[in-house]
Amino acid sequence: MTLPAPYRPSIHFTPETSWINDPNGCIYHQGLYHLFFQYYPDDIKWGPMHWGHATSPDLIKWSQHDIALYPDSSLGAIFSGSAVNDKHNVSGLFNDDKGLIAFYTSHLERKAPLGPLQQQCIAFSKDNGFTWEKYEKNPVITNPGIPDFRDPKVIYHEESGHWILIAVAGQQVNFYKSLDLLTWEDAGVFGKDQHNDSLVWECPDLMQLQDQYGTSYWVLFISCVSSQEKPFPPMQYFIGEFDGHTFKETHQDDRVNVVDDGYDFYAAQSFFEAKSESDKPIWLAWANHWPYANLIPNDGWRGTMSLPRELSLLKKANEIALAQQPISAVSDHFTHTSTASENTLILPTAAGTVHKLSVRLPNANQSSANFEVKAGASQSAIFNWDSSSKTFSLDRSALKPEHFHDLYDQLVVADLSKEMAETDILSADIYIDQSIIEVFFFDGERVMTSLVFPNTTFSSFVSHTEQLNTTYSMVTI
């Protein structure tokens, strides 16, 4: 089913029909990237969760497949989780190296006063991830007596020789370890008295990342179910050490380590056994924001994934921060076509066209800037750089659908004061794919992801600042 512009992106994954949210079970196997995702096939609003399934050879062009996992009457709906390759058959479930195991949370609705029951379960695939069978001895980790206990992320920890399962438990992370992927024992806990411990934590990820000098650190990522009054941060991260039992934060900052400065980047998950061409981990996220997720305007489908990004760390002085860049399979597709003349560019409007604007502002600590990307005569995404506050903002209020959530009117703001302390040049690469804009500052030191809803395709770029240098490139899928 092909749906018309202006809302269907070209190089971001969207479902053929129905509702999606969190990416699940991300894994690279037998030459294909497998993306599973929270899916409700019967509506375009959140409902009893299934695992949908799509594959791609390059993380750009996707094929959607049959539903991988369905809810069941005994354990409930299929919530978020991850997948691994049991290539050495430590589980005893397989006869070769084609065996994949998916870890997910079963969510069983129960009558009051009991409330929902969330437990960790597994399913396995003997045909490279295209059909799945639930483990007969589920759950493999029972609920410890709390309402929020979900989203298992499984990794292999080389130093201890154990598989590690990370699950969120309210406002903390519980760690478990296993030798066979079936039986799990408590290993440790992290999260009490940390940033935003009043919010429900979700969708953890844990990985080793290197800085530009080759030093490795463990990084723990958390998504937060935030209130409508305090929508940020959708995702945060902690830098530290992991010994195979628990995580210890070793690099703390005065501010929360925000993964993405936009509203619309949530529940990111890395691909198991996948690295970029530069040998960096790869992840993607659900590009949405819970307060208005069920209101997104679309024709028979609802939900978008972010661009796939490679991850690293950047060390400056005594501070370390996350860096994200679109993988080369994305960025290499774009071909340079023009440079802004008289501060104006006419953008191609052919179906499937994705725009990339590379803007550079010299003397940015003293000079503010303002520019817009226009869709028709009356709609614009308006970007502003304020040199006094060192903030870069996106005003998308002119692209607001009728009767949409008021949060959408708020400016999307990135505070770049720390980054600008070491440079006088503001630089940003802006990817525009129909209904989603992703801004990568300073080669990915900061990122800002935002959904937008123009009534027609974007057709022009207009700068109101003479000093702004802008080059344009594009790809048509």
Q: What is the pLDDT of residue 193?
A: 63
Provide the whole-model pTM.
0.95
Which of these ranges, 196-200, 237-241, 330-334, has the smallest mean pLDDT?
196-200
Q: What is the pLDDT of residue 6?
A: 61
Q: What is the pLDDT of residue 198?
A: 67
Whether 399 maps to a domain, the answer reads: yes
Q: What is the pLDDT of residue 319?
A: 87
My answer on whether 413 and 457 are in the same domain is yes
**Residue 230's pLDDT band (cuts 50, 70, 90):** low
Our CA angle for 225, 231, 232, nearest 5°, is 90
Whether 313 maps to a domain, the answer reads: yes
My answer on whether 283 and 354 are in the same domain is no
Average pLDDT over residues 353-377: 94
For 94-131, give one letter per residue: b (16+ CB within 10 A) or e.
beeebbbbbbbbbbbeeeeeeebbbbbbbbbbbebbee
Domain encompassing residue 254: 18-325
234: domain CATH number? Answer: 2.115.10.20
Q: What is the pLDDT of residue 217?
A: 97
Whether 138 maps to a domain, the answer reads: yes
My answer on whether 269 and 367 are in the same domain is no
Whether 200 maps to a domain, the answer reads: yes
**Residue 308's pLDDT band (cuts 50, 70, 90):** very high
Which of these ranges, 102-106, 120-124, 385-389, 418-422, has the smallest mean pLDDT?
418-422
**Residue 171's pLDDT band (cuts 50, 70, 90):** confident
C-alpha to C-alpha distances, 405 to 297, 312, 358, 375, 408, nearest whole angstrom = 12, 34, 31, 21, 6
407: domain CATH number? Answer: 2.60.120.560
Which of these ranges, 73-87, 248-262, 430-444, has the smallest mean pLDDT?
248-262
Domain boundary among 293, 325, 357: 325
Nearest CA to 448 out of 311, 260, 257, 321 is that of 260
Whether 276 maps to a domain, the answer reads: yes
My answer on whether 256 and 394 are in the same domain is no
What are 180-190's pLDDT values in tens digits? 999 999 999 99
**Residue 335's pLDDT band (cuts 50, 70, 90):** confident
Does pLDDT of 4 surpass 50?
Answer: no
What are 244-295's pLDDT values in tens digits? 999 999 987 767 889 999 999 999 999 999 998 889 999 999 999 998 999 9
| Cα-based torsion angle of the residue sequence 375, 357, 16, 71 in order, rounded to the nearest 10 degrees | -120
Which of these ranges, 240-244, 351-355, 426-430, 431-435, has the smallest mean pLDDT?
351-355
What are 20-29's pLDDT values in tens digits? 999 999 999 9
My answer on whether 310 and 342 are in the same domain is no
Domain boundary among 298, 325, 352: 325
C-alpha to C-alpha distances, 109 to 49, 73, 138, nearest whole angstrom = 12, 10, 17
Parallel, antiparallel, or unpaired: how do β-strands 309-316 and 281-286 relate? antiparallel
My answer on whether 278 and 301 are in the same domain is yes
Nearest CA to 446 out of 474, 414, 477, 469 is that of 414
My answer on whether 199 and 105 are in the same domain is yes
Whether 12 maps to a domain, the answer reads: no
What are 27-70's pLDDT values in tens digits? 999 999 999 999 999 999 999 999 999 999 999 999 999 999 99
My answer on whether 315 and 392 are in the same domain is no
My answer on whether 301 and 442 are in the same domain is no
My answer on whether 295 and 338 are in the same domain is no
Whether 383 maps to a domain, the answer reads: yes
My answer on whether 97 and 193 are in the same domain is yes
Whether 355 maps to a domain, the answer reads: yes
Q: What is the pLDDT of residue 88?
A: 93
Does pLDDT of 2 surpass 60?
Answer: no
Nearest CA to 367 out of 313, 304, 425 is that of 425
Number of domains in the chain: 2
Domain boundary among 306, 325, 344: 325
d(CA 448, CA 456): 23
Q: Which of residues 329 and 240 earns the better pLDDT score?
A: 240
d(CA 257, CA 260): 9
d(CA 4, CA 21): 21
Q: Which residues are CB-contacts of 31 (< 8 A; sequence separation ≥ 6)?
A: 57
The partner residues of 85 in beta bridges, in order of sequence, read 100
My answer on whether 50 and 24 are in the same domain is yes
What are 91-116's pLDDT values in tens digits? 999 987 779 999 999 999 999 888 99
Q: Which residues are CB-contacts of 197 (< 8 A; sequence separation ≥ 6)?
A: 171, 172, 191
**Residues annotated catalytic, as ranges:** 22
Arithmetic mean of pLDDT over the chain: 92
Q: What is the pLDDT of residue 95?
A: 86
